[in-house]
Amino acid sequence: MMQTPKSCVLVIEDEADVRDLIVLHLKREGFSVVAVDDGEKGVRALDSDPTIDLAVVDWMLPGMSGLDVTKWLREKKKTVLPVLMVTARADSADIVRGLESGADDYVTKPFEIPVFLARVRSLLRRSRAPAPQDETPASNKIRIGELELDGHSYDVTVGKEKLSLTPSEFKLLKALMENQGRVLSRDRLIELVQGEGVSVVDRAIDTHVFGLRKKLGSAADFVETIRGVGYRMKSAE
């Protein structure tokens, strides 16, 4: 299936052969591609090019690492732009580090191109999914105590403070709030957050929950861990 050229992917990869391979297949899928070979150039592109819809970031980059690029995006740029981390580090602990830095998903080298492209399409679908046309703005707002989520504007607020969530954190929170009082297993949350047919480790969901709780601040206690099963959104007391 051809992807609209309006979807622009930034590729930050220092290995020329890997970069060229990624660019080739992204362009074959119909994506517009911007490619750079180090983290500093990636940051400059992200800071100046508003057409970028997704960033593919290699972990091991000269100078500014992929982790630092992703942290800059989340902490300095404060954007929910989806990030796909590419890494030769296959340890679950390393993958968790990548997710904790703010990445939404990962692929490990060497990777299969169809899997890589599926991850790209999944992240773009999640970040661009429109609200259902038959819903009114009021019906797409969910409020639990001081925590409010707006599915149309993708805004999340705690009290008067607006939070900056990654697409994965937003989708995770929305799933929990829509199923308030119900326990959602890790497998179900993986399906909702990462997309169907994408295999990830359970710890990826735990990491997203950890990051979400930190950002929720005083509302963090609404997210309850059900040991050995998954998570549940408690009601406001």
**Do residues 120 and 41 share a domain?**
yes
Domain shared by 123 and 199, yes or no: no
Q: In what helix (H) or strand (E) does residue 135 lie, and over which residues does it extend? A: none
pLDDT score, position 131: 42
Q: Is residue 77 part of a domain?
A: yes
Q: ∠104-106-109 over CA atoms, to 5°? A: 165
The answer to whether residue 173 is domain-embedded is: yes
Task: Identify whether residues 27 and 124 lie together within a single domain.
Answer: yes
Domain end residue (candidates: 101, 128, 155): 128
Q: Are 199 and 109 in a shared domain?
A: no
Q: Comparing C-alpha atoms, which of 209, 13, 224, 9 is closest to residue 99?
A: 209
Could you tell me the pTM of the whole model?
Answer: 0.62
CATH number at residue 181: 1.10.10.10
Q: Is residue 1 part of a domain?
A: no
**44/101 same-domain check:** yes
**Same domain, yes or no: 12 and 118:** yes
pLDDT at 202: 55
Residue 1 confidence (pLDDT) = 46
User: Does any domain span residue 133?
Assistant: no
The single residue listed with the structure tokens 């057409």 is 51
What's the pLDDT at 134?
40
Strand stretches in the chain, DSSP E = 8-12, 32-36, 52-58, 83-87, 105-108, 141-144, 147-150, 155-158, 161-162, 183-185, 223-226, 230-233
Residue 87 maps to which CATH number? 3.40.50.2300
At 3, which helix (H) or strand (E)?
A: none
> CB-hemisphere CA count at 13 Å for 165?
31
Which residue has tokens 């957050």? 193
Q: At what angle do helices 92-100 and 202-216 cross, to 10 degrees?
A: 30
Same domain flag for 217 and 166: yes
CA 80 to chain centre: 8
Determine the pLDDT at residue 4.
47
DSSP string, 186-224: HHHHHHHHH-TT----HHHHHHHHHHHHHHHGGGGGGEE
- Lookup result for tokens 């805004």: 155
What pLDDT, on a 0 to 100 scale, did the predictor assign at position 102? 80
3 located within any domain: no
Residues 99, 168 within the same domain: no
**CB atoms < 10 A from the CB of 126, how many?**
19
Q: What is the pLDDT along the chain (237 residues), one digit of tens a residue?
A: 444 446 899 999 999 999 999 999 999 999 999 999 999 999 999 999 989 999 999 999 988 999 999 989 887 776 778 899 898 876 767 777 777 778 888 888 888 899 899 889 888 877 665 444 444 444 578 999 899 999 888 889 999 899 988 777 888 899 899 888 888 888 788 777 765 444 455 567 888 888 899 999 989 999 998 888 889 998 765
Q: Would you say residue 148 lies in a domain?
A: yes
Domain final residue pick, 80, 97, 128: 128
The number of distinct structural domains making up the chain is: 2
144 lies in the same domain as 123: no
17 and 110 assigned to the same domain:
yes
- Give the domain extent around 101: 8-128
Domain boundary among 110, 128, 146: 128
Pairing state between β 105-108 and 141-144: unpaired
